[in-house]
Amino acid sequence: MNSYERLCFKLLGERAKKRREEFLQLRNNLMRARFTTPFEAYLSTAWVSSLLGGFVAAVLLGLLSYLLRIPEMITYKGTLPDFFVNMSDYRLVAGTVITFLIALLLFGGVIYLIFMVYPSVVAGERRRNIDATLPYAINYVTAMSTAGITPAEVFSLLGDSPIYGESSVEARYITREINIFGKDLTEAIRIVSTFTPSERMKEFLQGAVASISAGSNLTEYFRNKAQQYTLENRQSQKVFLETLGLIAESYVTALVAGTLFLIILQSIMSIIGGDTNPFLLYIVIYLIVPFGSVMFVILISSMTPEV
């Protein structure tokens, strides 16, 4: 924990401890994201940060509203109760207070929501990275196990190989459970499989526990899993390439040929009609084309598997 998190924990740590059962999903997401910050400190930091951030934003917007006298710019033409009519002389102060309260609730709520969602986002990124690197990590594990290295040492070597990304991180946690907390191999694997964000990694680790418990050949299990995940990886790459080709055809049809047709058509219509301000043409050129291209880029980026 940094100094700010320690301060937040001192302020609200005891209250956060009493709310553990209410934030079970958050606790699990923190574990899956492998955050080093304890749950109580993280929740305390979320509370303090949302209050401070909301208060600062509320003060700034309140001052801006007061200095620019924004509430006095608002007029209502209609019938109002006498109470509101009598309060019209104080609308600057009342409007500033209302702006302060709304900004406090809005910005504080957004900051709190970000704190609640962020661990799940990180866990999702870790899941994608593990799924992408797991076939290569299992091939490495299979090679080490075939060489006669013990399973515990195999996971230790995998944890020391950063080229396998988040799969190496999961292996390091297995080694930590064994070396620091004194767990045996099966118990360490079971604990890590419980909190890994990847279902494929969970399946692999649980299968390893079953193989060890049954006394079967663990090297053969690693070899079979390496072949299975390699085949699945090839199939997913094939599906991605086919989908990418379909998206490329859609892009050419919709944003190249389609927009070119609209530009030519609208240009001809403007010349024939004598329109000196072709609004639709501006929309196509300055909105549809750039924003459509950006949306296709975002779509392809979100679909592209990590390598």
pLDDT above 90 as % of the chain: 27
Displacement of CA 194 from its chain's centroid (Å) = 20
Least confident of 51-60, 80-89, 249-258: 80-89
Instruction: Evaluate if residue 87 carries a pLDDT over 60.
Output: no
Least confident of 82-86, 243-247, 295-299: 82-86
What φ, ψ does residue 253 adopt, rounded to 5°? -70, -45
Whether this prediction's pTM lies above 0.85 is answered by no
Distance CA 178, CA 156 (A): 10
* 57 and 107 Cβ atoms separated by less than 8 Å: yes
* 159 and 175 Cβ atoms separated by less than 8 Å: yes
What confidence category does residue 275 fall into, taking pLDDT thresholds of 50, 70 and 90?
low
3-class secondary structure per residue, 235-259 = HHHHHHHHHHHHHHHHHHHHHHHHH
Mean pLDDT computed over 160-183? 90
Instruction: Evaluate if residue 81 carries a pLDDT over 70.
Output: no
* 111 and 69 Cβ atoms separated by less than 8 Å: no
Taking residue 163's Cβ as centre, other Cβ atoms within 10 Å add up to 10
Residue ranges covered by each domain of the chain: 3-121, 127-230, 231-303
Least confident of 169-173, 193-197, 235-239, 274-278: 274-278
What confidence category does residue 132 fall into, taking pLDDT thresholds of 50, 70 and 90?
confident
Query: For 202-228, how does the pLDDT look when each residue is reduced to its tens digit (9 = 90+)?
Result: 999 999 999 888 888 888 888 898 888
Query: For 246-257, how does the pLDDT look when each residue is reduced to its tens digit (9 = 90+)?
Result: 888 888 888 888
Taking residue 123's Cβ as centre, other Cβ atoms within 10 Å add up to 21
Q: Which candidate, 63, 23, 25, places its Cα nearest to that of 43? A: 23
Displacement of CA 113 from its chain's centroid (Å) = 13
Q: Which candidate, 34, 20, 5, 279, places its Cα nearest to that of 176? A: 34
Q: At CA 149, angle to CA 144 and CA 154, rounded to 5? A: 60
What confidence category does residue 268 fall into, taking pLDDT thresholds of 50, 70 and 90?
confident
Would the CA dihedral through 46, 2, 197, 232 be positive or negative?
positive
